[in-house]
Amino acid sequence: MMKYTKIIFSPTGGTRKAADLLTKNWKDAGTIDLSDAVDDYTKYSFDPEDVVLIAMPSFGGLAPQIALDRLSRIKGNSARCVLVCVYGNRAYEDTLVQMEDAAGKSGFQVIAAVAAVAEHSIMRQFAEGRPDEDDSRELTEYADKIMKKLEAGNTSKLSLPGNRPYKKAGSLGMVPKAGSDCTECGLCAKQCPTAAIDLRVLKSADKTKCISCMRCVAVCPQKTRHLNGAMLAAASLALKKACSGRKANELFL
Ligand SMILES: Cc1cc2nc3c(=O)[nH]c(=O)nc-3n(C[C@H](O)[C@H](O)[C@H](O)COP(=O)(O)O)c2cc1C
């Protein structure tokens, strides 16, 4: 029997919100969480009649490498798939073409793609509150158009924006740290997508593993895990112009 599945990497929930709006009309959809550092992704495989949505945030204009690595262990077996790249109102550059290549390698047939805007997970003043009501309406419309293409059995190829070879990956080098209110509950360590936080040393994180995804900051019950304020202020200033103005969602069919 045909099944619907969402494959999602969403450290702070923005990508998940967009993915949920785009699959409002999917019945009994299951979810594979690509942010789980201990799951065995090789156990997941699909059939040609299945439909899958793959959603990731854009980090530095690229797909997060850890999410691509985990996706590469899943077998698509020609299942049709919808790609969703979610970005924080700057730009997503080569994220979608990278996702297209990765999905193809895993054996998925890409039939639609979406670029959606969500609140910037590091500098939350950019695209604050998005997806908002207008986005919700628009992404729901996209969901209907995608369903029409699926129902028509149309598997026409897409023409997605982005460059090959992809832009060079850089590291932000911003590693969140525990503040003085830390109660050592360990939730940050348990939820870290890259297992960068040692449960016995919660103060900081392994900077060779940390991808600055902000999961630890977002889940901290004390709201005490944080980035260096001066670095954050400098980054905000540097990106202010690039992140200004309301960026539009896009649908590729
Ligand atoms: C390390 C990092 C790099 C990011 N790079 C970009 C970027 O290049 N362009 C952009 O528009 N947003 C960028 N963002 C913002 C995220 O793409 C956006 O907030 C997304 O919604 C985060 O997904 P999540 O809420 O599912 O974690 C970046 C966020 C992080 C944490």
Of 89, 95, 122, 172, best ligand 1 pocket probe by most atoms within 8 Å of the beta carbon: 122
CATH of the domain at 116: 3.40.50.360
pLDDT of res. 118: 98
Please compute the mean of the pLDDT values over residues 65-88 and round it to a whole number. Answer: 98
Q: 176 lies in a domain? A: no
pLDDT of res. 166: 98
104 and 9 share one domain: yes
69 and 191 share one domain: no
pTM above 0.85, yes or no: yes
* pLDDT band at residue 173 using 50, 70 and 90 as cut-offs: confident
What is the rounded end-to-end Cα distance, in angstroms, of the chain?
25
Residue linked to tokens 């939820």: 191
Is the per-residue pLDDT at 172 higher than 90?
Answer: no
Q: 47 lies in a domain? A: yes
Ligand 1 centroid distance, CA of 103 (Å): 20
Q: 211 lies in a domain? A: yes
- Cα distance between residue 102 and residue 88, in whole Å: 22
Average pLDDT, the chain: 97
What does the pLDDT look like over 186-219, one tens digit per residue? 999 999 999 999 999 999 999 999 999 999 999 9
Range of the domain at 206: 187-226
- Cα distance between residue 156 and residue 159, in whole Å: 10
* pLDDT band at residue 2 using 50, 70 and 90 as cut-offs: confident
pLDDT of res. 227: 97
Cβ pair 143, 187 in contact under 8 A: no
Ligand 1 site, residue 120, Cβ cutoff 6 A: yes
Is the per-residue pLDDT at 88 higher than 90?
Answer: yes
160 and 196 share one domain: no
- Cα distance between residue 16 and residue 198, in whole Å: 26
56 and 155 share one domain: yes
What does the pLDDT look like over 111-137, one tens digit per residue? 999 999 999 999 999 999 999 999 999
69 and 147 share one domain: yes
108 and 197 share one domain: no
Q: 233 lies in a domain? A: no
Is the per-residue pLDDT at 167 higher than 90?
Answer: yes
Among the listed residues 86, 100, 73, the one whose alpha carbon sits nearest the alpha carbon of residue 16: 86
99 and 197 share one domain: no
Is the per-residue pLDDT at 232 higher than 90?
Answer: yes
Q: 181 lies in a domain? A: no
Cβ pair 225, 176 in contact under 8 A: yes
Please compute the mean of the pLDDT values over residues 59-64 and round it to a whole number. Answer: 98
Cis preceding linkage at 131, omega within 30: yes
- Cα distance between residue 227 and residue 218, in whole Å: 12
* Ligand 1 atom nearest 61 alpha carbon: 8
* pLDDT band at residue 171 using 50, 70 and 90 as cut-offs: confident
Percent of residues, the chain, with pLDDT higher than 70: 100
Specify the number of domains making up the chain.
Answer: 2
Is the per-residue pLDDT at 71 higher than 90?
Answer: yes
Q: 42 lies in a domain? A: yes
Of 9, 86, 95, 120, best ligand 1 pocket probe by most atoms within 8 Å of the beta carbon: 120
Q: 51 lies in a domain? A: yes
127 and 194 share one domain: no
Q: 50 lies in a domain? A: yes
pLDDT of res. 89: 98
102 and 213 share one domain: no
Ligand 1 site, residue 11, Cβ cutoff 6 A: yes
pLDDT of res. 1: 80
98 and 141 share one domain: yes
- Retrieve residue 201's tokens: 């040393």
Ligand 1 site, residue 249, Cβ cutoff 6 A: no
- Cα distance between residue 237 and residue 231, in whole Å: 10
